[in-house]
Amino acid sequence: MPFGLTGKRVWVAGHRGMVGSAVARRLATEPCEIVTAGRETVDLKRQIEVEEFLADTKIDAIVIAAAKVGGILANDKYPADFIYDNLIVEANIIEGAHIANVDRVLFLGSSCIYPKFAEQPIRENSLLTGQLEPTNEWYAIAKIAGIKLCQAYRKQHGRDYISAMPTNLYGPGDNFDLNSSHVMPALIRKAHEAKLRGDKEIVVWGTGTPRREFLHVDDCADALVFLLQHYSGYEHVNVGSGQDVTILELTRLVCDVIGFDGKIVHDLSKPDGTPRKLMSADKLRGMGWKPKIVLKEGIHKTYAAFLAGQSVIRTLEGAGK
Ligand code: GFB
């Protein structure tokens, strides 16, 4: 094992997000100490604050789950935020880690780093072999830069910095705002509200034909902790389920779980994005890791978390009155 976690202090940067909180939950089962720091403690966009935080806090490893993320429309609408925020945060943390002599960093990217028409399933070596998908090229460029930062610090300074590229993730703690969310939380919310209102139909963006691969965030966190312990290498590693579905199939599955049996209609004014981005799972499987949560079970769990969140909001509203 290149990196045993016993007695180590691991900083989960971005611990309040869906991925960061899942990584913190997973790390809580290991004999390590989890370090977290909210925005009030360190603003990750300020280089000096990151450097001071790392100088003051003895850290053995960092998981960079801090990122500006969003669905297809948010990516398209806020290109400056998606490229700048992600570039600055990853650069500050990676350079800060090097200065503070932190020898273990796990950087997280996304499957959108690959060319729009990459051969499927997409292997790690497809990176930079073609044009990116225009709706998310800003985010993708920032994430590609993150991979390259890890590789550069490995090459020039001998740092053991690695990168993982998760597929489309979903689960508890997701963003359910319809304008900025990814497809899974959007469909869960739409189907739930349509059912409550007794609507006859649910609106799905685009043609419904794009294919997407989904991985529950708890499986992703498990894979990330596995990589942190077992992987040391120059190339990034895909983290996926190895299976994809069309958006229409996903919509039917979500409606089935939620119990909404109305019609599915398409809003063709919204973009489809990449036609398909199924990643090859061979590299991670070859190391001995595989996911545990099948898609339907994961949707059930996420819907339960969504309902629990709704009841928390209702309770708070009730308490405030
Ligand atoms: O999840 P999503 O927003 O992101 O959309 P991407 C996936 C597909 O679902 C697209 C369709 O074809 C959408 O048009 N879709 C259908 C919907 N109904 C909805 C809806 O109500 N909301 C949303 N959001 N989509 C993002 C990238 O791409 O994925 C990011 O923009 C990142 O950079 C992330 O890589 C994982 O899979 O298209």
For atom 9 of ligand 1, the residue with the nearest CA is: 183
Residue 18, Cβ density class (10 Å: 0-12 exposed, 13-18 middle, ≥19 buried) = buried
Judge whether residue 312 has pLDDT over 60: no
In the beta sheet, which residues pair with residue 160? Answer: 104
Residue-wise pLDDT tens digits, 194-241: 999 999 999 999 999 999 999 999 999 999 999 999 999 999 999 999
Q: Is 198 left (phi over 0), alpha (psi -120 to 50) or beta?
A: left
Place of tokens 């963006």: 205
Pocket of ligand 1 (CB under 6 A): 71-72, 75, 110, 112, 135-136, 139, 168, 181-183, 186, 204-206, 210, 212, 247, 270-274
33-35 and 61-64 strand pairing = unpaired
Is pLDDT of 321 > 80? no
Residue showing tokens 């998981």: 63
Atom in ligand 1 nearest the alpha carbon of residue 187: 21
> Does pLDDT of 79 surpass 70?
yes
| Residue ranges in 57-182 assigned as alpha helix (H) | 72-77, 79-99, 137-157
Phi first, then psi: give them for residue 262, nearest 5 degrees: -75, -175
**Given the residues 139, 170, 231, 303, the one annotated as active site:** 139
Catalytic site includes residue 303: no
* % pLDDT > 90, the chain: 95
69 CA → ligand 1 middle, Å:
11
Question: Rounded CA gap, 177 and 186, in Å?
Answer: 7
Closest protein CA for atom 5 of ligand 1:
183
Pocket test for ligand 1, best of 19, 69, 72, 111 (most atoms within 8 A of CB): 72
- Ligand 1 atom 7 nearest Cα: 183
User: What's the pLDDT at 309?
Assistant: 86
What's the distance, CA 304 to chain centroid?
A: 20
290: helix, strand or coil? coil
Looking at residues 52-81, what average pLDDT do you find? 97
What gap in Å lies between CA 61 and CA 58, rounded to an integer? 10
Q: What is the mean pLDDT of the chain?
A: 95
